[in-house]
A and B are shown apart, each in its own frame.
Chain A
Amino acid sequence: MKILYDNITINSDNLKSQMRKGILEYCILSILERNGEAYASSMISELKDAEMIVVEGTLYPLLTRQKNQGLLKYRWEESKQGPPRKYYSLTEKGKLTLQELDNVWNEIVETIKKIKTSGNYFNNVKIHCDKI
């Protein structure tokens, strides 16, 4: 029985982390759209401030993946102190994907809002009934 239980928790963990990861990817694209260009460290500090990531390492596999998917590109830029840095920016495909993601996001938000408020509606009816 315990095994079964473990499986279920693993699956729900999986779901949660996938969801978070999806949102995190959305955030990365959004940051890049707003700033035009950004290097990894600045993205990290922004995401950390927003409490989107806990450990910094999370960002790197995602950046590489998005780059491999053709959503991002980067260029090297010399910095005054230290070695050159990678500056990331959106590709055309990345911009289109972001628009698509915006639509999906708004849809989800709308749906959730609708479900929550219709829930309120029923609650109100119930309160009303109680008063009668």
Chain B
Amino acid sequence: MKTTVQVSLNGIAFNLDENAYQQLKSYISELQSHFADDTEIIEDIEARIADLLSLRIKSADHAVNLNDIDEIINIIGNPNDIDDKADASEKFKKHFENVNNSVKKRLYRDTENKVVAGVCSGIGHYLNLDATWIRVVFIVFMVISIKLDGMHFWFSNRFIFGMPFVLFIYIVLWIVMPRTKTPRQNLEMHGYTSARKNGNKLRSSNNGIGNFVKKLFRFAIQICVAISLSIVGIICTLLLITGIAGFFGGSLFGGTNMISLLDYIYIGEVNTWIIKLAIAIIIFIPVCILIYLSIKVLMRFKIKDKPAMIILMIVWIITAIFIGGSAVSTAKLYRYNETVVEIQKDVNFDNIKTLNIKIPDSIKPYEVAFFDWNNSLLYENPANESLYICPNIHIVPVDSISENYIKIVKSANASTRHEAKLKAQNISNGYIMSDSATIMLAPEEFNKYNKWSSEMIDIFIYLPDSILVNMY
């Protein structure tokens, strides 16, 4: 059972079923919005629809169905087929003649040329500036306002309701500025000059102060545009150069790059190149999207990029999950930390005045400062570029000679307590007494595949304070 709706077209009554009624209603309202100021055209077309329907209907109680309406719409045509742009522009021009040159510019959102809500292009029309520049200003100041606030994201007074100040302004403008609905409003948005391309002077240029303020504002915006553009340019260039160089190049930054640093990450059975790839994806997808979007906004081109964006986002999320999962599984492998303490009593510092602590000549301190692992100093053998961890030396002053001894604290991480303890016990002492007055440190080679074991040696030397210590 279907309900029917009775409508009257050009004075003839028709019974339409529910679907047909909805279709016809939306078609006519489409026509109405297209021929906004011409009720006559709509009436004529309605009359024609009535004609065509009468031909189709055999008896008065026959209900019109959706097929009938669709066929009729096909015959008469969609608003865009009927009345194309040439006609619309004529209507627009006619409108101009009607309003008699006295259109005052008003601030509207231009929803036909929008990126988000048409606020920027509305301001652009109002100030006679290309909307792109207004957009650039908005984006740059948005970034700056976020950057300035840094860590205090939620608390700073530059944020209102937890959003950047500039974003807040945008939303306020979005709410306050109306959308153009009628041709008249469209006209008011564009003002007088933009429709007449011959370049007639702005009409409002005659009224003194208001125009001066407007000019001043325009000038300020143009300066903002210039500043914003240079900032964007510099940031993009820096981002690209540091990003790519930092990742692959490396010679710029003291011989270290991300790729070689990532070698030190060893996650279970997984090969490190997968991790490298994952981290590259995590970093470069957002960077590329940012750069792409800013170019898109600047150049104002429209490409169907939604599917690509969605795919990129999915890839990014999968990668993030993969990295997170790997991190968790790695952390599990090194969950327990165990410490073993050994005490060497057989040292004899009785007869010496100075104690020498020596690092082998073959290794030098590793100069990349940020690579400071577990508070141990890293050393490097320049000959073969391998890294070494030096034991930590603690000198503990004691009063009497009889209390002299060396305590060695060794620790390691593993997946079980037992294993961790075994690992710790297997670590060498980390030093050799070459004679009674010299301790030769024997740094362990830093095994990059064993990084997360974090095997550590702390050497505590209990020494009378009368003895000098000489480290070199």
Which residues of A line the B interface, CB within 8 A? 2-3, 10, 14, 17-18, 21, 40-41, 44, 54-58, 60-61, 63-64, 82-83, 85-86
Contacts and interface: CB of A to CB of B under 8 A. Distances in A.
A18 B83 CA distance: 11
15 contacts: A18-B86, A54-B77, A55-B74, A56-B77, A57-B45, A57-B78, A58-B81, A60-B41, A63-B44, A64-B44, A82-B12, A82-B50, A82-B51, A82-B54, A83-B12
Contacts of B41: 60-61, 64
B301 interface: yes
A85 B428 CA distance: 109
B361 interface: no
A68 to B, nearest CB: 9
A108 to B, nearest CB: 19
Contact of A17 (B44, B79, B84): B84
Contact of A55 (B38, B75, B86, B301): B75
A12 to B, nearest CB: 12
Contact of B45 (A17, A21, A41, A60): A60
A44 B44 CA distance: 13
Interface string B365-386: 0000000000000000000000
B304 to A, nearest CB: 12
A3 B301 contact: yes
B112 interface: no
A79 B452 CA distance: 96
A84 to B, nearest CB: 8
Which of B12, B35, B83 neighbours the largest number of chain A CB atoms within 10 Å of its CB? B83
Interface in B64-82: 74-79, 81-82
A48 B79 CA distance: 18
Contacts of A55: 74-78, 81-82
Interface of B: 10-12, 35, 38, 40-41, 44-45, 47-48, 50-51, 54, 74-79, 81-87, 301
A82 B415 CA distance: 92
B76 A57 contact: yes
Contacts of A61: 35, 38, 41, 82-83, 87
Contacts of B81: 54-55, 57-58
A54 B84 CA distance: 14
A44 B45 CA distance: 12
Which of A2, A3, A56, A57 neighbours the largest number of chain B CB atoms within 10 Å of its CB? A57
Nearest to A56: B76
A83 B48 contact: no
Nearest to B45: A60
Contacts of B54: 82
Nearest to A44: B48
B296 to A, nearest CB: 12
Nearest to A55: B77
B44 A14 contact: no
Nearest to A81: B54
A86 to B, nearest CB: 7
Contact of A83 (B38, B50, B77): B50
B438 to A, nearest CB: 76
A83 B35 CA distance: 24
Nearest to B86: A18
B60 to A, nearest CB: 13
Contacts of A86: 44, 47
The 8 closest A-B pairs by CB, nearest first: A55-B77, A57-B82, A57-B77, A83-B11, A57-B76, A18-B86, A60-B44, A56-B76
A57 B79 CA distance: 8
A41 B75 CA distance: 12
B100 to A, nearest CB: 18
A14 B82 contact: no
A106 B82 CA distance: 28
Contacts of B12: 82-83
Contacts of B86: 14, 17-18, 21
A106 B54 CA distance: 42
A38 to B, nearest CB: 14
Contacts of A2: 301
Contacts of B82: 55, 57-58, 60-61
B261 to A, nearest CB: 41
A86 B11 CA distance: 14
A69 to B, nearest CB: 11
Contacts of B38: 61, 64
A23 to B, nearest CB: 13
Contacts of A64: 38, 40-41, 44
B45 to A, nearest CB: 5
A52 to B, nearest CB: 14
A83 B47 contact: yes
A101 to B, nearest CB: 18
Contacts of B47: 40, 83, 85-86
A56 B38 CA distance: 17
A39 to B, nearest CB: 10
Contacts of A41: 48, 51
B44 A83 contact: no
Contacts of A21: 86-87
B58 to A, nearest CB: 14
B50 A58 contact: no
Contacts of B51: 41, 82
A98 to B, nearest CB: 20
Nearest to B52: A56
B220 to A, nearest CB: 30
A84 B87 CA distance: 29
